[in-house]
Amino acid sequence: MPNEKILSSRLMPVPDKGRVLVFDSGMGGLTVAREIMARAPGIAVDYAADTGFFPYGDKSDAALRARLPEIAARLVEQAQPDVFVIACNTASTLALDEVRAKLSIPVIGTVPAIKPAAAESRSGVIGLLATPGTIRRQYTADLIREFAANLTVILHGSIELVRLAEAHAAGEPFDPAGFRAAQQPIFQAEGGERVDTIVLACTHFPLVREQLSEAAPRPVSYIDSGAAIARQTLRVLAREMEGRPGNQGAGGRVFLTADPAASQRLVTVARKFGFPDAVSLQDRGHEESRFARI
């Protein structure tokens, strides 16, 4: 989307200083980090993955709501970003307010791209492909009611597609039939023959957009929120950094809540996205433990 990037740069300031920390349960948020870095190469961007509690999609609401604010606070304390981005639909739709209340810096959330999908659909039927956690959130239901009340929205949750996306991104063997199976319930549901737009409501899913498109029974548009998150992040960062010096040092760190030795798949993929330094999130009061450069 070159034209979109050119237009965006004319309408909003592109910051050249400051630090952003992009957070997800696994590697899906790397797609958001890539969008941010492409639009503002002068800022420092770090990444964080809650590898010690992955995947979020099959965890209870209570467990996530208790964990997320504390993990966010520890990450911010260690990484010292100016803006914290929750690049995870499950975490954002469940605990965005709690994380914002815990942190003293701006927090950018991720929500399913239902509004742009509703605007793009010509048939009046859209699909929402997400994790089961995002599907059942009241936040998601409220978005549908606000932006797609006059449309038919077919929802389907898939944990298997998260795992499939990670395997594909890491270059590991995978079953191509899984891409068809992961979205087939949307097309088979009542009204599914009229679906023309599918919302990729998990940041892992853009990693396999091409594979999903090839496996679909007919052409449809796939929409995610990565570009919108990047634009909002840079708007907020520009305001935050006005009249302030930027944090020193380059980006490129990936913080993990489990030993990087046990997360080699994510570490390998993170390097491909420009994050070569694996860092273990330490308990409060302990010094940062930096692992060997990959």
Question: Which pLDDT score, from 0 to 100, does residue 260 have?
Answer: 82
CA dist 229 and 34 (Å) reads 11
Pick the CATH number of 17-110+227-290 from 3.40.50.12160, 3.40.50.300, 3.40.50.1860, 3.40.50.1970: 3.40.50.1860
Q: Which residues pair with 46 in a beta bridge?
A: 21
**Structure tokens belonging to residue 197:** 């737009």
Average pLDDT value for residue range 123-127: 98
37-69 pLDDT tens trace:
999 999 999 999 999 988 887 788 899 999 999
pLDDT at 126: 98
In three-state secondary structure terms, 196 is coil
Mean pLDDT of the region 250-270:
91
One-letter amino acid of 130: A
Query: Quick one: average pLDDT of 141-167?
Result: 94
Instruction: Indicate the pairing of strand 253-256 with strand 44-49.
Output: parallel
Tell me phi and psi for residue 292, to 5 degrees. -60, 140
* In contact, 55 and 25? CB cutoff 8 Å: yes
The yes-or-no verdict on residue 288 having pLDDT over 60 is no
Q: Check whether 246 has a pLDDT greater than 80.
A: no
The whole-chain average pLDDT of the chain stands at 89
CB 132 within 8 A of CB 201: no
* 282 pLDDT above the threshold of 80: no
Confidence grade of residue 11 (pLDDT, cut at 50, 70, 90):
low
Considering 70-74, 244-248, 285-289, the range whose residues carry the highest mean pLDDT is 70-74
What long-range pairs does 218-222 form, CB within 8 A, spacing at least 24? Answer: 220/127, 220/195, 220/196, 221/117, 221/120, 221/196, 221/197, 222/197, 222/198
Percent of residues, the chain, with pLDDT higher than 90:
72
Question: Which band of pLDDT confidence, cut at 50, 70 and 90, is reported for residue 5?
Answer: very low
Average pLDDT for 135-151: 94
Least confidently predicted of 98-112, 127-141, 142-156:
127-141
Residue owning tokens 């932006």: 147
Q: Which fold has domain 114-224?
A: Rossmann fold (3.40.50)
Ramachandran assignment for 19, one of left (phi > 0), alpha (psi -120 to 50 degrees), beta (any other): beta
Q: What is the mean pLDDT of residues 85-102?
A: 93
Cα–Cα distance for residue pair 88/85, rounded to 1 Å: 9
| Mean pLDDT of the 165-172 span | 91
Where along the chain do the CATH 3.40.50.1860 domains lie? 17-110+227-290, 114-224
The residues assigned a catalytic role are 88, 202
pLDDT tens digits for range 208-243? 999 999 999 999 999 999 999 999 999 999 999 987
The span from the CA of 237 to the CA of 15, in Å, is 7
